[in-house]
Structure 1
Amino acid sequence: MPTIAVTGATGAQGGATARSLLAAGHRVRALTRHPGSPAAEALRRLGADVRHADFDDRASLDAALAGADALFAVTTPFGTDTGTETRQGRALVDAAAAARLGHVVLTSAAHADRGTGVPHYESKHAVERHLRACGVPWTVIAPAAFMDNYTSGWTLDGLREGAFAWPMPAGRPLTLIPAADIGAFAALVLLRRDEFTGRRIDIASDECTPEQIAAALAEATGTAVTHQEVPLDHVRTRSADLAAMFAYFTGTGLDVDVSALRRAYPEVGWHSFTDWALAQDWAGLLGRQGPGTPG
């Protein structure tokens, strides 16, 4: 059985991919900067070979990829910056090429190849271009907006006050995907490489308006939730990058053909937003004893 290396294995996308591959019976080498973390230990219990790897330490990448057959690659600008993401992504691609891997699956962002002007989309596209030129068989999967982001940050803060605070108009559709579906699709690509080699695929599991998201969150949390549009100027005070992203979502829109993906790849087990929301531990996240009960 070939060994598949997974970067970001203790994060959302990498962790979901590692678990999907392990569930399918594949050998997984989980790469992380923190091999002693609880998330890393959880992967070990599932059968993963956990290895240390740091994008800023080429020797660690070379050692971590030695003997692997394929790679799931994920980069992020958050916690660093877009320039760092591009530099680290190129270093990872170069290490994959030097290791002569049989396939690299890079996770990017839906529409990142369309000249969005969104900084962290542009940095991801720079890594995509580097991957295409490196000579290794590749696939780029490009997820839409993450459902999982709604369990933290200003969304969670707003839900405690009965509001779905989101920087988009109530009726503007947005395509969405949970990390579990990204991982399942990535695993599918790695298991059927010939079908996906040389392809870039935008992926999403559902399409909802903020008004529909608020209704689904109300059902899942057992509380009244209404959509509250956050002004982009307010978002800009926190992050110009995120403000640019939400301006793109509202203006151009993040369209992905959800129906076509569901028809073509039913084995992924795509989750609707409602299904995803109902599966979350909102009582714990919101600090309540149970749905609708003040903590």
Structure 2
Amino acid sequence: MLTIAVTGATGAQGGATARALLTMGHRVRALTRFPDSPAAVALRDLGAEIHHADFDDRGSLGVALAGVDSLFAVTTPFGTDTTAETRHGVTLIDAAGAAHVGHIVFTSAAHADRATGIPHYDSKFAIEEHLRASGVPWTVIAPAAFMDNYATGWTLDGLRDGTFAWPMPADRPLTLICAEDIGAFAALALDRRAEFAGRRIDIAADELTPDRLAAALAVALDRPIAHHEVPLDYVRGHSEDLAAMFDYFATVGLDVDVSGLRREYPDVAWHSFTDWAEAQNWSALLAR
């Protein structure tokens, strides 16, 4: 049994990782800025220790990481910016090194190591490089596009009107993964340190075109859904970063060996997009 610190524990990836580790029987130290939030309370009820930690407060990280065996590290530019994301990741890695943490699993993004020019991929790759140079045993897992994003934001708004609004051509494949599978894979890497240390692995569970995504959503929602290609200029008006990402998806694409991952790591459920879509409470989501 290991004691494993999980950052972003009240978010999608961190929460999924914490739950998977608890199921494996490990001790989980859930790090969050909001220890009294409903998500933190739910983790506490499952058996996790809840510790306050803030990436902008190195002292809080040192206290939270004292005595842990391993760390799951997740960072985000959303809500701040890419410069802050890199700074936060560097601070976290340095705090983990000072606390003599024995293994860090960092969740990045598929293809972030390929000079994509996508700002929030480049910020994650800068953290990867700092991690490799830190001297702490490391693993990088790099998820493809998140299925979970299809139940939020403008996509959810479009589904209310029978439209799957997505900034990609109808026939361009995209590799996808849900947060639950990211958490399961991260937990596997943390549980099997010797096997995963020093490796960077792009991960995805399915690959579909927007047309086929719309068809799967139509079945799950039990209503007609048609794909509508949102112009990149519209996306660019909201975020240059996201526009760069969708341009990359549409031109280069995210090639991830889905069948190889399923074959090599059968312990992970590897949800298809249909599995994920049919598991969502669409009535509640659409009523918001």
Q: Per the shorter chain, which TM-score range? A: over 0.9
Whole-Å separation in 1 of the counterparts to 2:251 and 2:270: 27
Q: Is 1:65 matched up with 2:65? A: yes
Q: Is 1:31 matched up with 2:23? A: no
Q: Is 1:163 matched up with 2:163? A: yes
Tell me the alpha carbon deviations over residues 11-70 of structure 1, each in whole angstroms, 9 at most, x when there is no partner.
000000000000111100000000000000000000000000000000000000000000
2:215 partner letter: A
Q: Is 1:79 matched up with 2:66? A: no
Superposition pairs of residues 1-295 of structure 1, within 5 angstroms: 1-287=1-287
Whole-Å separation in 1 of the counterparts to 2:157 and 2:248: 24
- Indicate the SS of the match to 1:268: coil
Whole-Å separation in 2 of the counterparts to 1:255 and 1:178: 17
- Indicate the SS of the match to 1:267: coil
Tell me the alpha carbon deviations over residues 96-123 of structure 1, each in whole angstroms, 9 at most, x when there is no partner.
1101111000000000000000000000
What's the CA shift for 1:287? Answer: 1.4
What's the CA shift for 1:152? Answer: 0.6
Whole-Å separation in 1 of the counterparts to 2:231 and 2:268: 36
What's the CA shift for 1:225? Answer: 0.1
Gaps of 5+ in 2: none
Q: What percentage of residue pairs aligned between the two structures are identical? A: 74
- Indicate the SS of the match to 1:255: coil
Whole-Å separation in 2 of the counterparts to 1:5 and 1:97: 13
Whole-Å separation in 2 of the counterparts to 1:48 and 1:32: 12
Whole-Å separation in 2 of the counterparts to 1:3 and 1:184: 17
Whole-Å separation in 2 of the counterparts to 1:287 and 1:183: 28
Whole-Å separation in 1 of the counterparts to 2:223 and 2:176: 22
What's the CA shift for 1:194? Answer: 0.5
What's the CA shift for 1:2? Answer: 2.0
- Indicate the SS of the match to 1:207: strand
Tell me the alpha carbon deviations over residues 260-288 of structure 1, each in whole angstroms, 9 at most, x when there is no partner.
00000011010000000000000100119
Whole-Å separation in 2 of the counterparts to 1:100 and 1:68: 8
1:40 partner letter: A
What's the CA shift for 1:76? Answer: 0.1
- Indicate the SS of the match to 2:201: strand
2:33 partner letter: R
Whole-Å separation in 2 of the counterparts to 1:98 and 1:234: 45
Whole-Å separation in 2 of the counterparts to 1:107 and 1:11: 13
1:274 partner letter: T
Q: TM-score, normalised by structure 1?
A: 0.97
Whole-Å separation in 2 of the counterparts to 1:125 and 1:243: 19
Whole-Å separation in 2 of the counterparts to 1:89 and 1:45: 28
Query: Aligned Cα RMSD in Å?
Result: 0.7
1:178 partner letter: C
Gaps of 5+ in 1: 289-295
Whole-Å separation in 1 of the counterparts to 2:232 and 2:269: 34
Number of aligned residues: 288
What's the CA shift for 1:215? Answer: 0.4
